[in-house]
Amino acid sequence: GAVVSQHPSWVICKSGTSVKIECRSLDFQATTMFWYRQFPKQSLMLMATSNEGSKATYEQGVEKDKFLINHASLTLSTLTVTSAHPEDSSFYICSARDPWALNEQFFGPGTRLTVL
């Protein structure tokens, strides 16, 4: 199957700083990528849908000014957690939809964010 990478795989930052997470589709072009958040022992919650060349669509309750999403190319989407606080600590997962694979979503391995 198609491969999606995320970088970094884990990050620790101080409260008040910003953190950028990258999501890349390595062997296909993805016009649509998704960002999820996963709390310990809980399910994945969709945060936003990232569309190449246009603004992201955020799910209800997700602060778009806090979680900035940029999808500047067909293979890269970034999630920036601005002014991070301890409650933002979580596992962030991206997926990319492959239009040549019946629109199946392929998932990255996730990024563990810890805010001190």
Partner 1 sequence: GDSVTQMEGPVTLSEEAFLTINCTYTATGYPSLFWYVQYPGEGLQLLLKATKADDKGSNKGFEATYRKETTSFHLEKGSVQVSDSAVYFCALSDLEGAQKLVFGQGTRLTINP
Q: Where on the chain is the footprint of partner 1 (CB under 8 A)?
A: 1, 4, 32, 34, 41-46, 49, 57, 93, 95, 97, 103-105, 107-110
C-alpha span between 116 and 84 (Å, rounded): 9
Nearer to partner 1, 27 or 104 (CB): 104
CA distance between the termini of the chain: 37
Write out the two tokens for 21: 């997470």
Residue 101: half-sphere exposure toward Cβ, Cα within 13 Å: 14
Closer by beta carbon to partner 1, 14 or else 41: 41
Encoded tokens for 1: 């199957």
Identify which of residues 52 and 82 has a Cβ nearer to partner 1 in the complex: 52
CB of 114 to partner 1, least distance (A): 17
CB of 60 to partner 1, least distance (A): 9
Q: How far is the CB of 72 from partner 1 (least distance, A)?
A: 19
Tell me the one-letter amino acid at 94: C
Report how far residue 67's alpha carbon sits from residue 46's, in angstroms, rounded to the nearest whole number. 12
Q: Least distance to partner 1 from the beta carbon of 6, Å?
A: 8
